[in-house]
Each structure stands twice: as C-alpha cells, then as structure tokens.
Amino acid sequence: MCGLVLILDFDGVITKLNIDWVKIRREVSMIIGFNVDSLVDFWDKYFGTEIFDVASRLVEKYEVEEVLRVKPYDDVEKALQSFNGQVYIASLQSKNALQVFLQKNGLNGYFKEVLGREGFGSKFRQVKYIMKREANAEKIVFVDDSRRNILSCKPLGVECILFDRGSGCNLISLVENIRSYCR
C-alpha cells in the first residue's frame, strides 16, 4: 500500500452549503461588539478565546441546519471508496455540523479524522496537525476550493490542489490522479 494522505475541504469539495454568510457576519458582529469583515480572519485571529467560542456556537446553529438539508456531491462516495489511503476533512465549519452531515449521509467511515474550526481556527493549523500525525506518509495532498487556503498551506510542503467544481473538477478524477503517484 502506498502511503498517501488526502485532506479534503468540506464546503465546495464534499458538498455545497447555501448559507447567507453576510447575514451571519452581521450577527456575529452584533454579539461580539465589533465588525467582522471575514470569518476566516476572525477564526484565525481569535482562536482559543471566549469570543471565538461565542461566535462559533452562533455559526454552528446555521451550519447544522444547512447540513441537514444538503447532500454530498454525486462523486464523493465513489471517490472515497476508490482511494486507498488515509482521508481527513479539514474544515472551518464546526466539527459537530461535519459529523451530523457525515452520519446522515453514511460517509463517516471513510475518514480517519474530521477537523473542525474549534480545535484549530485555521486551515494552516489543521494541515500542520495532520502532517505531524502522518509524518511517515509518502505524500500528503490538500484539496480546497479556496485559493486563500491553498496559498496559506503551500509553505508547509504538502501538495495543494485548488479544486473548482464550477470549471468541471470532479473528485473521482482527482483521486485517480493522486493514486497514480504510487504506480
């Protein structure tokens, strides 16, 4: 068996969450007492603080509501079945929302670990954690639909793939290409 590790983002790679992020940023701004222009920046900067936890609980309510409504993209389960390595989810959604989605859709058995924002606050810290856990892996591949996340994790030395479903990317082809690293 080849020592491949696949790290997948959630929203945009596994499913599409239809959440009004502008509305949520306004609500977060109201409860914490200052304007939040970017939740990604907020999670990173305030990770480990009380206001992070307060904001995270608020956002989680919307996330759980949405994951109960959406389904995985059609290619997800087949791609996971065909991958012969360790698979992680690294997401800035709440771990609870991720687990609710995976359980509801019968996907929880495919992942070695599911990382939500509460334990890390950023994709960089999530990927760094996985790299430590998988120190003996031959190759670690991080897949995300955000250029920002790809650029922040590239300096860690993992292969980073910008995944854009809008331009025709599909997970089955991606997994086949990754598996070819071991041939």
Q: Write the CB contacts of 26 (distance below 8 Å, at least 6 apart in sequence).
A: none
Q: What 3 state SS string does 99-120 have?
A: HHHHHHCCCHHHCCEEECHHHC
Q: Tell me the C-alpha distance between 104 and 65, whole Å.
A: 12
Task: Name the fold adopted by 4-15+73-182.
Answer: Rossmann fold (3.40.50)
* Angstrom distance (rounded) from CA 34 to CA 40: 15
The boundaries of every CATH 3.40.50.1000 domain in the chain are 4-15+73-182
Contact 14, 73 (CB under 8 A): yes
Digit-by-digit pLDDT tens for the chain (183 residues) are 468 999 999 999 999 999 999 999 999 999 999 999 999 999 999 999 999 999 999 999 999 999 999 999 999 999 999 998 999 999 999 999 999 999 999 999 999 999 999 999 999 999 999 999 999 999 999 999 999 999 999 999 999 999 999 898 899 999 998 877 765
Q: How far apart are CA 61 and CA 183, in angstroms?
A: 44
